[in-house]
Structure 1
Amino acid sequence: MNPKIVGHLKGTDYRVEKILFESRPNHHVSGSLYLPNSAPPYPAVLIPCGHSHDGKASGQYQRAAILFARNGMAAFCYDPVGQGERYQILGNHSEPSYFRDLSRKLETPHPRVQHLCTSEHTLMGVGSILLGENVAQYRIWDGMRAIDYLQNRADIQADKIGCTGNSGGGTLTSYLMALDDRIMAASPGSYLTTFQSLIDGKGPQDAEQNIFGQIAFGMDEADYLMMRAPIPILICAGTRDVTFDIRGTREVFQQANRFYSHLGYPERVALNEADAPHGYLIQHREAVARWMHRWLVGREKVIWEKPRKEWPATITDEFLRSLSEPEWTQDELYCSPDGQVMLLEGERSVFQINAEKVAALRKERSALWAALPDDEKLSLVRQAIGLTDFGEASFEAVSSVEQDGYTVKKITLRRDSGIPLSAKAYIPEGKPKSHVLYLHDHGISAREEPEKLVRQGNLVLVAELSGIGETAAGQDRKSWGAGRFGWDNQEILTAYLMGDSFVRMRVEDALMWAAYFGVESYQLIGVGEAAIPGLHAAALNQGRVSSLTLTGMIRSWEEVVQQPEHHNQLVNAVHGVLRHYDLPDLIELVGATVTDSVDVDWKASSPKQ
């Protein structure tokens, strides 16, 4: 770990040590350790940050840590990857800059920072998904190593470790308290709700908050509490939190409370429900300080950060937020010489670590793939994307328009399960020379190439895939990342929680559309976002696809892992696919013609609807 105390600060009735340690070789974690002025040893509370761009320097986390330290408990608040001093993608700016992926102007916490923390988390997350991992593992491991650090200090009581965090820090607190049995008391805030409530509301959040197949295997957020029952857990929530609905939080608490009561410890789980918006506001900080004092120090204490007699008669959100002003500036809390650990000599980012993993996987995968006969390769592809047998489709012609030399019919695909999809059939006069399944990320609005093909005597079916064209999410939809992860990112992440992917759904769509022709052989053309599903559909319908042309497709999934900057690749992500094959393997297997390959950071110039 190579921990170092790189600086000291002296506050009123507490002190701060500035800490750097390596959670992995040459992968540093920066943190602030708040300590009481009383004699050691102390219980310690770990504070993983929520989505604050300045990380540990955010006022709400400073205020919580100070409150703990003033009441006899150490508090270690550390920067997550993609926040504070641990941004993983740095530019070359020397003057103050603004976040690139935000429509309004917001100054970055460091001149060389480029992306919002949620964007960095999900850029890391897409590469992790392709490896069969989750960026959450980096966050969880950092927290576990932070506990290692605390337990190795002589002034910390190793058996009295607590954990609390808010929002994204509430997510990490939930993960850590469930997975690390050294945590003896916990308080996740502004996070816990039911998945049903979350999906019905704001929808899934950034990458580390979505575990592959979690809903499919029956695990809801109340299970995080039950995994470690009966350790003391205080849930903190605001009644006016617009992201994590209080009704779902109440349901989580009710489930946990029933379980704790069954075990005989109903007093060890509680809900602090504050009349407040999203945030680690004073009502939560005081409640958590009292909770940790009860269970870690071992006695009850009424702890005030600001006694209520000092509050105004009318309480506004502006007043509550004013109580979260920081005590220390970001510069004063810096642990690294230049304010970003990626500027340390030899520092490794999450992207670099993932790139090393993908290189190792390539060596293992290539030998295994080469040894398989073609039928077993195709079986492996079906298994990797999760494609199972599906029902038959029916096709309904809903309109017909005569053109000069051909007819255009609008077709609806219907099936037992799944949404209806639309297509346009361009039908030439007389017997068709060939049949062409045309998949384009503009859906049925793509006309130029189909018109050219039908005039050459081909029957062309311009077929839409799920999330394209008439089923697209919509370009005016507000979304984090400014569209970097697709406007349908929440649908993609919901599918991910269900153990599914858009690639699997779209491959099934393409195979169903192929049945429209009723012939033994057809050509397939895949363009843009529809190219990867088209490639898979051709591979899995091998023997029927006489030719395959792919345009505007990325060269490989491996490039997505290797490149920190990528655009709209969440829709192409399949969990763990790079453990089995990459796109060039399928291209070679099918004998596809690939034209105009694009870089992974290429951004389409027009909508897909």
Structure 2
Amino acid sequence: MTQKPHQLLFLALTLIGLLIQTGGSQAANPVLERRKVIGTTAADQHLTDYFRDHATRLANRSLKNVKDLKTWEKKRVQYRKQLFEMLGLSPLPHKTDLKPVITNSITSDGFIVENITFQSRPGLYVTGNLYRPIKQEGKIPAILYVCGHGGVKKNGIIYGNKVHYQHHGEWFARNGYVCLTIDTLQLGEIEGLHHGTYREGMWWWLSRGYTPAGVEAWNCIRALDYLQSRPEVDGEKLGVTGRSGGGAYSWWIAALDERIKAAVPVAGITNLKNYVIDGAVEGHCDCMFMVNTYQWDYAQVAALVAPRPLLISNTDKDSIFPLDGVVDVYNNTMKIYELYGVPENLGLQITEGPHKDTQELRIHAFHWFNHFLKGDDSLIEMAATKFHTPEELKVFKTLPEDQKNAKIQETFVKQAKAKVPEDSAQWHQMQEQWKTQLQKKSFRGWLKKNDSNTKTKVESATRDGLTLQTISFDSQKHVPLKLFVVMSKKSKTPQPVTLTVLNQSEWDTYLNELAPVFPGMDSATPLSPQGEKLFQELRKNVLENQTAIAYFTPRGIGLDAWNPEERKQTQIRRRFYLLGQSLEGMQIWDVRRAIQELQAQPEFSKSEMRLVGTGEAAALCLYASLFEKNISELDLTGMPASHHNGPALLNVLRFLDLPQALAMAASRSRVILHKVNPKDWAYSSQVSKKMGWDEKQLQIRK
């Protein structure tokens, strides 16, 4: 039987994939090797093992239970809803008037280019160039080309990345397509922001459930609306392609919108192993990632394109989309295409080279669209070349005053506004709903039970009438932590205990000075004069008040501090959120485990427990108290008033903020909040008044 050219192409690409899977190996890449290494200490190695373990877990369960098409079709509906949510698009924004404007039109070599803008939502401007043939008969297929990170800026004037990628649109127009090439948020004519967590320290993006990937996806959805409004376009024959960042946006729109009938994402996706274990995340800005609430691996995104034609395209020496991960995504996605009985609709193209826009990559993309959108399998004879200057393709002479692009992160995902409950029944209902949302949307990374087999170790010593204990335990596998306990040698059981959760500065200036007195620590080192002074103050406090005090630092702090280099600290936090966690969310888990370990000790099994924390540590105590029993009091100092400047918890601002969490905690325990502005906590005070609590139940002090 004679095979058609596209079948030969698919066969060749499939064989390449199989060869790579079974026998190939990627040459050592110094950039990749550097990114893999978090640091050199034991704590860094524990963290490396933690990331490897959790990335592997998510990879192993991704698409695992999909054995037949019926199961997949059911899960597919659920997965698409989850993806909309993880991109900040649930509920889906209202489709408002696009208000398209063509600011200029140029006739060129066989095609016309129109400089256009539309508003994907009021004030969110999308700038682009629409390329179309001068001559056409009837409606023709259209391609949405989404740009990667190739911005063009001359003499302080931004022309957009559409200018950098113009040759793609020009080729399509010269070969019988309409092509709309659109700028991205950060590199468009109106400069927005992709680098919130990558560079700007805007960790509240995670709390808001915001990612610029959602803006790019929404702009793509509206771009399809615009294309379908054009009289030249066959709205049933739409394709999408782009490379690097544009490759990622190609994935989002192809997975979300079935109007896309063929897709060629170029260098836009790999797997969690590459991102988290191999450190490829360090080469990517935030636009490449969803907020991974439901803990996906990336083949789940690719699988949502099935059974529509999809060509996964990459080079073999790409340091930010490594070859093994790309092939892994292809292999896992193929399982879904096989369930549909259309393996020929999925292709894998690997060409030689680095992360670069090459002619070899373009040729196969052009062929893919020709076959699936036009039924044309002829050879590609025309190269893609650039025809225009940046000045010719610029949309705006003056930027619109009502633009929201620059600060779209502040409004794109709606923040919840909590109402004060009318009565105790409504308050109970609100609390139960919030706890459920926290568990499902913010703390999904928590374990149902500790997964470590390491037994807790308790070491004891005495000094100057005190019993000193070091309790070593695993918060979870690869997270070894310590509790340091001080109590009177003659203490009675049960006795009250205060658990103080320390931040890094408190460890450095306080507990690190006291560390030599605890068993299992460096007892050969004598206390410094400052340490001796602190010890005597601690001794006096414990003996006079007949109380026990426990000190604790969660992961990443104190003995478990990781590589302090700022860049590594940033990329560590980003690895957590790619796993559907946040560092602070898992630190709250650590505080919970510390409470559990203390309560498991005979001296404290029936004791009242008081939690103490300052700054962000106060917020960790606050949330831990919502999920543990027998917490009699919270003593919190200088706690941030909002997750906008406090701990990052995935999605939390979509349903509550710290004042609501404080009110929840005060329903369970006595709460004293020090050194804050009472106005910031008005909601908590209003709930207290409405519920008729005793004035000592919630105390808010300046």
TM > 0.5 fold call: yes
How far, CA to CA, are the matches of 1:499 and 1:448 in structure 2? 23
Other-structure match for 1:194: 271
Shift of 1:434: 5.4
SS in 1 for 2:130: strand
Give matches, 1:174-573, under 5 Å.
Answer: 174-202=251-279, 204=281, 205-212=284-291, 216=295, 219-261=296-338, 263-303=340-380, 327-329=388-390, 332-339=392-399, 343-344=401-402, 349-354=407-412, 357-358=414-415, 361-363=416-418, 365-367=419-421, 371-373=425-427, 377=431, 380-381=434-435, 384-385=438-439, 386=443, 390=449, 395-397=456-458, 409-414=469-474, 417=477, 419-427=479-487, 431=491, 435-442=497-504, 445-448=507-510, 451=534, 452-457=537-542, 459-476=548-565, 478-479=567-568, 486=570, 488-496=572-580, 501-502=585-586, 504-515=588-599, 518=604, 519-541=606-628, 543-546=630-633, 548-557=634-643, 560=644, 572-573=648-649
Once residues 530 and 337 of structure 1 are traced to their aligned partners in structure 2, the CA distance between those partners, rounded to angstroms, is 50
CA distance change for structure 1 residues 291 and 372 in 2, over 3 Å: closer, same or farther? same
- Relative distance call for 1:407 and 1:168 in structure 2 (3 A) is farther
**Structure 1: how far apart are the matches of 2:675 and 2:254?**
49
Query: Is residue 2:219 matched to residue 1:142?
Result: yes
| Shift, 1:21, TM fit | 0.7
> Within 1, Cα distance between the matches of 2:266 and 2:306?
18
Q: So what's the TM-score if we normalise by structure 1? A: 0.74
Query: Separation in 2 of the partners of 1:439 and 1:22?
Result: 48
Q: How does 1:578-593 map to 2 (within 5 A)?
A: 578-579=654-655, 581-588=656-663, 589-590=665-666, 591-593=670-672
Note the C-alpha offset of 1:35: 2.6
Deviation, structure 1 residue 31: 1.4
How far, CA to CA, are the matches of 2:499 and 2:198 in structure 1? 37
Q: How far is the alpha carbon of 1:294 from its aligned partner?
A: 2.4
**1:495/1:502 contact within 8 Å kept:** no
Superposed, 1:122-141 pairs within 5 Å as: 129-131=206-208, 135-141=212-218
Q: Give the structure 1 partner of residue 145 of structure 2.
A: 47
Residue 71, structure 1, aligned to residue 175, structure 2: yes
Distance 1:193 1:367, change over 3 A: same
Indicate conservation of the 8 Å contact 1:159/1:182, yes or no.
Answer: yes
Asked whether the 8 Å contact 2:196–2:202 carries over to 1, the reply is no
Distance verdict in 2 for CA 1:491–1:122, change over 3 Å: same
Work out the CA distance in 1 between the residues paired with 2:150 and 2:676.
37
Long gaps (5+) in structure 2: 1-97, 153-158, 515-533, 681-702
1:414 aligned counterpart, secondary structure: strand
Aligned partner of residue 2 in structure 1, secondary structure: coil
Secondary structure (helix, strand or coil) at the match of 2:185 reads: coil
Give secondary structure in 2 for the equivalent of 1:271: strand
| Cα distance in structure 1, aligned partners of 2:436 and 2:300 | 31
Distance of 1:27 and 1:474 partners within structure 2: 39
In structure 1, distance between residues paired with 2:487 and 2:351: 63
Given candidates 137, 152, 157, the residue that maps to 2:234 is: 157
Deviations 1:54-81 (A, max 9, x none): 5842665223222222322222121233
The change in CA–CA distance for 1:397 and 1:206 in structure 2 (over 3 A counts) is: farther
Q: Distance in 2 between matches of 1:334 and 1:256?
A: 39
**Mean Cα deviation higher: 140-149 or 382-391:** 382-391
Contact 2:615–2:637 (CA<8 Å) still a contact in 1? yes
Q: Secondary structure at the match of 1:250?
A: helix
SS at match of 2:239: strand
**In structure 2, how many angstroms separate the alpha carbons of the residues matched to 1:203 and 1:400?**
46
Contact 1:16 1:33 in 2 (8 A): yes
C-alpha distance in 1 between matches for 2:486 and 2:151 = 52
| Greater Cα offset, 124-133 or 184-193 | 124-133
Residues 280 and 321 of structure 2 are in contact (CA less than 8 Å); yes or no, is this contact kept in structure 1?
no
Task: Provide the C-alpha distance between the structure 1 equivalents of 2:392 and 2:169, rounded to a whole number of angstroms.
Answer: 16
For residue 465 of structure 1, report the CA deviation from its aligned partner: 1.2
Note the alpha carbon deviations across 1:164-198, whole angstroms, 9 max, x for none. 12222222211211221111111011123233343
State the alpha-carbon separation in 2 of the partners of residues 232 and 499 from structure 1: 39
Contact 2:269 2:298 in 1 (8 A): yes
Relative distance call for 1:15 and 1:374 in structure 2 (3 A) is same
The one of 82, 92, 115 equivalent to 1:18 is 115
Structure (1 or 2) with the larger CA radius of gyration = 2
| Contact kept? 1:238, 1:246, Cα under 8 Å | yes
Distance in 2 between residues matched to 1:119 and 1:213, nearest whole Å: 16
Offset of residue 2 of structure 1: 0.7
Is the contact between residue 199 and residue 494 of structure 1 (CA under 8 Å) also seen in structure 2? yes
Structure 1 gap segments, 5+ residues each: 89-114, 308-322, 561-565, 601-609
Q: CA deviation at 1:448?
A: 3.0
1:139-172 deviations in Å (ceiling 9; x for gaps): 2221111011011111222222110122222222
Cα distance, 1:30–1:277 mapped onto 2, change above 3 Å: same
The one-letter code sitting in structure 1 at the alignment partner of 2:651 is H
Q: Deviations over 1:265-309 (max 9, x none)?
A: 3332211201111233332122212222222233124335659xx
Work out the CA distance in 2 between the residues paired with 1:233 and 1:369: 55
- Picking from 116, 125, 141, the partner of 1:28 is 125
Secondary structure class of the residue paired with 1:46: strand
Shift of 1:252: 2.4
8 A contact 2:496–2:609 mirrored in 1: yes
User: Are the aligned partners of 1:414 and 1:421 in contact in 2 as well (CA < 8 Å)?
Assistant: yes
Distance 1:415 1:34, change over 3 A: same
**Cα–Cα, structure 1 residues 238 and 282, in superposed 2: closer, same or farther, change >3 Å?**
same
Which whole-Å CA distance do the structure 2 matches of 1:305 and 1:118 have between them? 37
Percent of residue pairs identical? 22
> Contact (CA 8 Å) 1:19, 1:31: kept in 2 or not?
yes
Task: Tell me if structure 1 keeps the 8 A contact 2:124–2:403.
Answer: no
For 1:36, the aligned partner's letter is: P
Could you tell which deviates more after superposition, 242-251 or 390-399?
A: 390-399
Contact 2:161 2:184 (8 Å CA) reproduced: no
CA deviation profile, 1:122-147 (whole Å, cap 9, x unmatched): 97995565455655433222111101
| 1:448 aligned counterpart, secondary structure | helix
Count residues with an aligned counterpart: 529
**Structure in which a larger fraction of residues adopt helix:** 2
SS in 2 for 1:496: coil
CA contact (8 A) 1:465 1:509 kept: no
AA partner of residue 530 (structure 1): A
**Deviation per CA, 1:536-561, whole angstroms, max 9, x where unpaired?**
22344464333x2323432023xx2x
- Distance across 2 between alignment mates of 1:382 and 1:187: 39
Structure 2 CA distance for aligned equivalents of residues 553 and 262 of structure 1: 53
Q: 1:474–1:487: 8 Å Cα contact kept in structure 2?
A: no
Q: Distance in 2 between matches of 1:586 and 1:214?
A: 20
Deviation for aligned residue 1:394: 5.5
Name the stretch that deviates more: 409-418 or 533-542. Answer: 409-418
- CA distance 1:375–1:8, shift in 2 (3 Å): closer
Counterpart of 1:319? none
Q: How many angstroms apart in 2 are the aligned matches of 1:369 and 1:73?
A: 62
Backbone CA RMSD of aligned residues: 4.0
Question: Distance between the aligned counterparts of 1:550 and 1:542, measured in 2?
Answer: 18
